[in-house]
Structure 1
Amino acid sequence: MLHLRLISPADKTDDVLRLIEGTTGTTHLAVVPGAARDPAGDVIMCDVAREAGDELIAGLRDLDLDKCGSIAVENIDLSLSERADEAEHEAPGEGSDAVLWEHLTDATHEESTLSITYVAFITLATMIAACGVVLDNAILIVGAMAVGPEFGPLAGFCTALVRRAPRLALRSLIALLVGFLAAMVVTTGFSYFMDATDLFSHEALKAERPNTNFIYRPDWFSFVVAVLAGAAGTLSLTSAKSGALVGVAISVTTVPAAANAAVAFSYNEYKQAWGSTEQLLLNLLGIVLAGTLTLLAQKALWATQRERTAKSRRRAQDSVTGS
């Protein structure tokens, strides 16, 4: 269930209430007239089944409530109410399958912002991965994958493609490209420093490295894993199962590939650097492709579910009218 807290101008309150009462899956409606001060208006609260949330939020935005009032949405962890159970039963589909597009857009917008914190995380992750590739240490590689924040801009780019939001797409692309570029430049300097202190060596980079040589040897398995991880990551975002994102992060070779390319470049190992770059681009392409297709499939399936539900309601109304 979702909890909505709304601020509505007095002249729009009746329209808002009609919308809420006409949306299947809503309950616990409460109105406090004149309670809001900034912006001035009425405070309206209600609970809605997750599978009906996107429809209700879209309707509220059509009433311009996000411009003249306020729309706040939060997840309800526990709701002990028979009315809530009935609302979830009446709403079409399953809550775990529902996509809250406004929430997804807002979340990916925040995660895809080019900030100092984002650049710091991706740079630190790349430097950790650099240590991992030189030491041929798989544990450091996995750790770097978990630290890397690059899935945020990738998810933002996929969402922007599906929702046709050019600003979000540009923001995500800038965060992705600038983030990786900054991380690789800093990691190249880090490699020079580590070499000067005899902690990195050319011989270690050129060694067989059985645990990490896959990073600069891309193949079809790299693309397949990236596609599967992209689909899993997108599903984890849309179903609010954020725990799965950790598994996604340590499944794709993005940050390690960037790190290996930077270290190889510092030692003039251009063949290794190019192989790592191919690995990076292949993983990014696979994630974007899978993420976009997953969102499109969810959008189509949910639209079909809504259409079936609407037809069932019309048939039920017609039968009642005919009788």
Structure 2
Amino acid sequence: MIVQLRICVPGELSGIVVESCESQVGVAEIALQKGASVMPAGDVVQIMLARESVEGLVEKLHALDVQKRGSISVIMPDLVLSDRADKAEAAAPGQGADAVIWDEVSRQTGEDSRLTWSFLAFLILATQLAAIGIVTDSTIAIVGAMAVGPEFGPLAALAVALVRRERRLGRDAALALGIGFPVAMLAAALTAWLSVPLGLFPRDALDHGSAVEFIYHPGPYSLIVAVLAGMAGMLSVISRRSAALIGVFISVTTVPAAGYVAVALVLGEYQKAAGSALQLFLNLLGIVVAAVGVLLFYRLVTKRLSPDAALQLRRRAVRPQR
């Protein structure tokens, strides 16, 4: 997999940037356009390289503070026909599908973790679907609610924030979860409270829901499934395989558990509400812990730029360029 980097950099830094690119294994092409950038004024460097080499080069560029003095854009071309690119991929260590671009992971999870109106709308709709499935004993509706729920985004962002110590990302994720679930549960409870007098479902509806007993009966497999789902979800984020997330969504009972808590509280089934709340907690905890584990593993096996090498690059950058 070939990736294109576009680097906008001040003229006095372009020389050391090009040298850093030339020394990076897996680079296929380097193009330098002097004075091509108008705002900010400077040069534009374009690089074609193997995906597994991107993180190493980006680390060097961060050491040069390129992201502060200019910009770094990462582009994923759909098709690259080049013998040099093929040789660069073969020379780069590892596999492109296993490569992690940490800034990409942080940005992607950050976009999915914010408390927005669309996030609230999807979570409310998913919880409503789950509540309907619970009172009608419909497994299909519950599975549909799992697929609609958007909660994995903030959970993945929370894991990234814990591993990379990004407080702002963790705060946004915690805010989305901390406000989103209570609001969605309150909306489901209000709907259930209005539905009972209208005769849409009887007060003993939870006593006959044999198909949904798994929601309020947490056990060891509740945590095991959540851990497996968290690992699969984070792997899908890292490898950019969004289709795998659908399987993650429909394997954990976060949204159904939230809907069950709301309905059970309205109907006075406090023991079942407590069991559902525990199920929700175990699922959220298991997903985050597993995602953190996956990120720590990838961070361990990914080669990082040493502090001494970063300092050496900075010193070279401040020297006058000939």
**Is TM (by shorter chain) over 0.5?**
yes
d(CA) in 2 for partners of 1:165 and 1:298?
Answer: 17
SS in 1 for 2:210: coil
State the alpha-carbon separation in 1 of the partners of residues 216 and 298 from structure 2: 34
Q: Return the offset for 1:290.
A: 0.8
Match of 2:234 in 1: 234
1:302, CA displacement in angstroms? 2.5
- Distance in 2 (CA, whole Å) between partners of 1:36 and 1:210 is 65
1:7-86 pair list within 5 angstroms: 7-86=8-87
Read off the aligned partner of 1:170 and give its amino acid letter: R
Q: How many percent of aligned residue pairs carry the same amino acid?
A: 46
1:107-153, CA deviations, whole angstroms, 9 ceiling, x for partnerless residues? 11111111111111111110111101111111111111111110011
Q: How many residues align?
A: 305
Amino acid of the residue matched to residue 3 of structure 2?
A: L
Instruction: Report the equivalent of 1:252.
Output: 252
RMSD value over aligned CA atoms? 1.5
| One-letter amino acid of the structure 2 residue matched with residue 79 of structure 1 | V
Question: Please, which runs of 5 or more residues in structure 2 have no aligned partner?
Answer: 307-322
Q: 1:278 offset after TM fit, Å?
A: 0.5
Instruction: Encode CA deviations 1:199-228: one digit per residue, 9 max, x unaligned.
Output: 232122221x22211101111111111111
Q: Contact 2:123/2:151 (CA < 8 Å) preserved in 1?
A: yes
Instruction: Output the CA distance in 2 between the equivalents of 1:153 and 1:233.
Output: 12
Residue 253 of structure 2 aligns to a residue in which SS? Answer: coil
Secondary structure of residue in 1 paired with 2:191: helix
Moved more, 152-161 or 30-39: 30-39
Runs of 4+ in 1 over 4 A off after TM superposition: none
Residue 107 of structure 1 pairs with residue 108 of structure 2:
yes
SS at match of 1:241: coil
For the residues of structure 2 that align with 1:39 and 1:118, how far apart are their CA atoms?
Answer: 35
Paired with 2:41 and 2:145, the residues of 1 have a C-alpha distance of 48
Distance 1:232 1:149 in 2: 16
Aligned residue number for residue 158 of structure 1: 159
Which residue of structure 2 aligns with residue 317 of structure 1? none
| 1:55-81 Cα distance to aligned partner (Å, 9 max, x none) | 111211221111111111121222111
Q: Distance in 2 between matches of 1:142 and 1:41?
A: 53
Deviations 1:184-207 (A, max 9, x none): 111111111222322232122221
Counting only pairs closer than 5 Å after superposition, residues 187-266 of structure 1 correspond to structure 2 as 187-207=188-208, 209-266=209-266
Aligned position for 2:318: none
Higher relative contact order (CA 8 A, sep 6+): 2
Q: Is the 8 A contact 2:56 2:303 kept in 1?
A: no
Which residue does the alignment assign to 2:315? none
Shift of 1:166: 2.1
Q: What is the CA–CA distance in structure 2 between the aligned matches of 1:63 and 1:190, rounded to whole Å?
A: 56
SS for the counterpart of 1:156 is helix
Superimposed CA distance per residue, residues 90-123 of structure 1 (whole angstroms, 9 cap, x where no aligned partner): 1111111111111001111111111111111111
- List gaps (5 residues or longer) in structure 1: 308-323
TM-score by length of 1: 0.91
